[in-house]
Structure formats: C-alpha cells, structure tokens
Structure 1
C-alpha cells in the first residue's frame, strides 16, 4: 500500500513517515501544497494524509484539485483546524476522514488501516484464501492459525495480491505499491520476490500465477 504524507511540520512528518514505513507501507512525504498537488496528479496512491495549513497551496485546494481529476485515493485530513465548519468543508470536498491535532497515535494507525481496507473493498478484519488468513489489523499472515513469517517485501507483495485474489495486478502497480519514489525496484526484483513467494505458498494450496507481460494474480490451486 502506498501513502502520500503531506505535512509541513518537519519533526511530525518524519515521525509519521517512520511509523508508517515501519508498518510496511511505502511512504512519500512532501511539505507544501504545490508539491502535494503535483505528486497526487502524477503518481498512484492508496491514501493521502493531508494537512490543511500548508505553504504555497492550501490543503483544501489540494483536495479540491484531486477530486476534480477524479483521483480515487482515500484522503485523511490531519490538521489543527478542527472547527465544525472546517470539518464539514473538508468532508464535502471529498475527504474520507478527519483528525485534529494533537491526536492519539493508536487511533491514527487504526484510521489508516480502516481507510485502506475500505479502499480495497474489505469490511471484515480478516481475509482468508484456502488455509491462509490475513489479519487486516496486525497485517500478519497465518496458516491454520500458525504465523507465516515472510520477509518484508514478500509480505507486502502477498498482501497486495491477497486483497485482490483472482485479479491480475500489473507489475507497474506492484512497483508503485511496494516502493516510494526514492526507492529503486526493478521488474527483475519483482520477479524474484514472486518466485520466492510462489514456492512458499505452494505447500499451502495457493498458486501465484503470472499473466505474461502484464503482472501476477493469486488463486487457490486446483484440487488434484
């Protein structure tokens, strides 16, 4: 899952980016409204965390521009401007959620997870495919109740495919979801992660298949 964090308070931005990256998200951070608007127009994000008091371009103007382009990213407004009028204005412009500063970190993390579940069209707190289950709160996988330990990038790839089981996910979408702009991830690297993940999943009845020239999809292996 890829997140754009828009916050002009540098210490807060760094702390939130570290928190989100530690949870396995790919995070891009910008500190002004003009950069936020440009990033949102050029890149695909699952979630935009948006401050309102920004230099160069107000956060509400960024939100207005995003929705005018029919940008589908979820938007969580995170601001000190917490009057009812400001909340109504932000929600009417297309924000999905609104938190005022100061805020509780645990609640912030829960709202991020909730918005990303909503983006994926999921309502329950767990998703299962065959014997493999993904806990959407902890973002951990288990097989028949036992933890399935995976390296970070393989876990992120499995999560992306798991929540879109049966649907082809393009390589470009995978790269965007797994990396921020300052990371480098090639097609060959994706193929290596997919190959390793395929071997890990085969004993559990799941097949990671290649849509040649397009991307990958996950499904239950056919019964023999």
Structure 2
C-alpha cells in the first residue's frame, strides 16, 4: 500500500534531508523533552539528597518518594524522547500505512500520558518543597528548584508532542475516508466527459429507395406487358 503523504509523512523511500528533519516541530519538541528530562533527573540525583545525622534524606520535605518520582519520570522521559526521535527519523521510511498509524497512536497516547505525569510531579514536588526546611548552607536549593521548574516546562513540551500526534492522526483518518473518485468524471485529474460510442452511420438514416421504381411490370418471358391506361 502506498504511504505517500500518509499521516503527515512524505513518500516512503525519499532521500533523507537532515536540515528539514531538524526543523520539524515534532523533532524540536522531542529535543526539548530530552533536555528537560536530563535536567530534572540530573538535578535531583546530584543534589536532591542530603546527608543527615543518621541517614541520607530527600530535600523535598524528607519524602523519598518525591525524589524517586522525579528521577523516575525524568529517566523514562529521557529514554522515550530518544526512542521517538529515532521514530521520527524512520517515519519517512515506513512504507506501511498501518505501521505509521500505530506509531502515531503510540506517540499520542504516551505523550499525553507523560504530560499528565509531569503535571502530577510538578504539583507533588512543589507541595513537598514548600513544606520542607531549608537545607544547611542552602546546598542543593538551586537544583531542587530547577527540577520543579523544568517539570513545569515539560508539561507543555509533552503536551505539544501529543497535539502534533493528534494532528497527524486526524490527517490520516481524513485521508482514509476521503472519496477515491468524483461523481463527475470531468472533475478527475486527466479525466474528461464520457463520449458516445462511434457509429458509422446515423441511427435515423432513411432507408434507400428500392432499385426499381415506376409502374412498368414484367410479363411472361419473351413478352412485354404494359398496363392499359384508363
């Protein structure tokens, strides 16, 4: 099945253009998702924990679940962003329309779900940080706040990815249900109106007159008979 233009992609097998690739909105957003994910889990992993009197504790109000949640969604978002970037690179090479549809649906579902998880994470980390005590000498404050800020930014980057995936899916659905022909053949590209079947002679042509005309009639052989005139 030809995948030319299916779900917002070009024709399968077209040469790869790196400049055009990096200018796609989907690729730009994936790059931002990748960057923000590194910042979120990097900040929490590096200075989101502090050493207390007895054990190491999380700066988010001593809630280890908050630190683990931030690191978890950040790491998974990092891996997913790499996977979707590879998918964007291979999208033009997908010759099957069904394969493109599955990719777009997966992108739509995951991106929308991860945007929601980042929203939950932002609210969770903000609430715990607002109730936490300031760490000694302010160590780790900037990292903790940066993780919160970029969790907020990630909500919109992943939501943007979901929006573009929805546009792709809608474009593919409209193309699937579009009519394959027009009722008027003249409206088709390269088409023209139907022509009648060629006929050698006119259908309503008059019959030829008989070869013999007149009132003279042949009599018996050897004789000529002429009808008497009255």
TM range (shorter): under 0.3
Higher relative strand content: 1
Q: Which has the higher contact order (CA 8 A, sep 6+)?
A: 2
Higher relative helix content: 2
